Structure 1
Amino acid sequence: MHNLTAITALGSSVPSVDTVDGATLCENAELALASVHARIGHETACRAALADLLDGRVPDVGKVILRDPEAAFWTGPDQWMVGAPYETHEDLDAQLKARFGASASITEQSDAWACFDLQGAKMERVMELLCPINIRAMQTGDVQRTSLHHLGCFVIRRDPSDWVRILGPRASAGSLHHAIVTAMRSTV
């Protein structure tokens, strides 16, 4: 039998935490993710299943539904990303497949994305250095797809107002982390 050890996107056994004068970056290794894509002809049933999961709401363009334990955000027409705590949703894709049935194609995404939570009074200044979005105009529950250090990323404005979640390609987690920490140091 194999003796495997789980590692984070940055290759460690514990998530990375970096604090630089008014900003803290935490690698979040506890997020299960799955994409939901409505199948042609089943869009209404897919939306109904998603609304049932999210207390009657479906994320609209540029929006995220922040619900405990699940959250979901819009990624494209009739497409969403659903997230939940990994500890209780390790099999999130299977849970969603059972709920959505033939109305949607569900794909496990946990190992495709690295998740970083950036918090602190200087969060907006850091984000302004990193990507071309108007972070100051974003409200809690807004999400934008953007280029961050030449990587396609999602930026989610969380609550409280000094907190954003950044999802970027796991294969480039080291580059993404380096870019964020460099921007944090540049605001000192």
Structure 2
Amino acid sequence: MHKLKPITPLGGHAAHVDQIGTLTIIEVVDQALASLAARNGQREVLQKALPLRLPDVGKSTSDGDFTVFWIGPDQWMVSAAHDAHELLAAELKQMVGAAASVTEQTDGWCRFDVSGAAHCGLFERLSSVPIRAMQPGEVQRGLIEHLGAFIWRIEGDRMAVLAPRSAAASLHQTLVAAARSIS
């Protein structure tokens, strides 16, 4: 019998943490992800079926166990603690029925949280997203070097970056190099 063990996007058995000057870069591995897309004309039905508020363009909301951010017209990414919601996509599909399409996204993305006083300088070196103008809860899709990513201001000096899992090592190397360049 095979004894399979899950690995993180960076290939480890535990989340990777880097402390560089005042910046901390954390590989986030404890969140389940699912995308949610309202079917044509079903947004109101979808909203009524969910125990959470769907955010507007470029925003995120947190309600109970769930955090949701906007990813496109009538499309959202839903996040919840993996231990409590391992089957997040199935849970959501049961709630919304035919009002939306739901797809599992957990292993398709990597997430790094960046925090510290110099976080704006780091992101200004890597992206044209106006980091200093972003308010807590705002999310923008942009490029970090050559890579499409969601850049999300969680709170004051804490940002999250979500990108395709296949690019986790490249994104991590980019974040670390930028952090070292400003420390």
Q: Does 1:164 align with 2:159?
A: yes
Match of 1:129 in 2: 125
Distance in structure 2 (CA, Å) of the matches to 1:173 and 1:113:
8
Q: After the TM superposition, which residues 140-179 of structure 1 pair with which residues of structure 2 at under 5 Å, given as runs?
A: 140-159=136-155, 161-179=156-174
Q: Does 1:73 align with 2:73?
A: no
Match of 2:38 in 1: 38
Question: Could you report, residue by residue, the CA deviation over 1:15-65 in whole angstroms, capped at 9, with x for unpaired residues?
Answer: 11001101000000111000001112323211322xx421xx320000000
Q: CA deviation at 1:130?
A: 1.1
SS in 2 for 1:53: coil
Match of 1:23 in 2: 23
Q: After the TM superposition, which residues 50-89 of structure 1 pair with which residues of structure 2 at under 5 Å, given as runs?
A: 52-54=50-52, 57-89=53-85
Where structure 1 has 5 or more consecutive residues not aligned to the other structure, the ranges are none
Distance in structure 2 (CA, Å) of the matches to 1:67 and 1:165:
18
SS in 1 for 2:106: coil
AA matched with 1:24: T
Q: Is the 8 A contact 1:127 1:135 kept in 2?
A: yes
Give RMSD over aligned pairs: 1.0
Question: Could you report, residue by residue, the CA deviation over 1:110-166 in whole angstroms, capped at 9, with x for unpaired residues?
Answer: 00100100001111111111110110100001000001121110011012x000011
AA matched with 1:2: H
**Identical positions, percent:** 45
Q: CA deviation at 1:69?
A: 1.8
SS in 2 for 1:88: coil
Distance in structure 2 (CA, Å) of the matches to 1:23 and 1:104:
39
Distance in structure 1 (CA, Å) of the matches to 2:22 and 2:64:
28
Distance in structure 2 (CA, Å) of the matches to 1:150 and 1:58:
30
Where structure 2 has 5 or more consecutive residues not aligned to the other structure, the ranges are none
So what's the TM-score if we normalise by structure 1? 0.94
So what's the TM-score if we normalise by structure 2? 0.97
Match of 2:6 in 1: 6
**Out of 96, 110, 113, which is 2:109 matched to?**
113
Q: Is the 8 A contact 1:66 1:141 kept in 2?
A: no
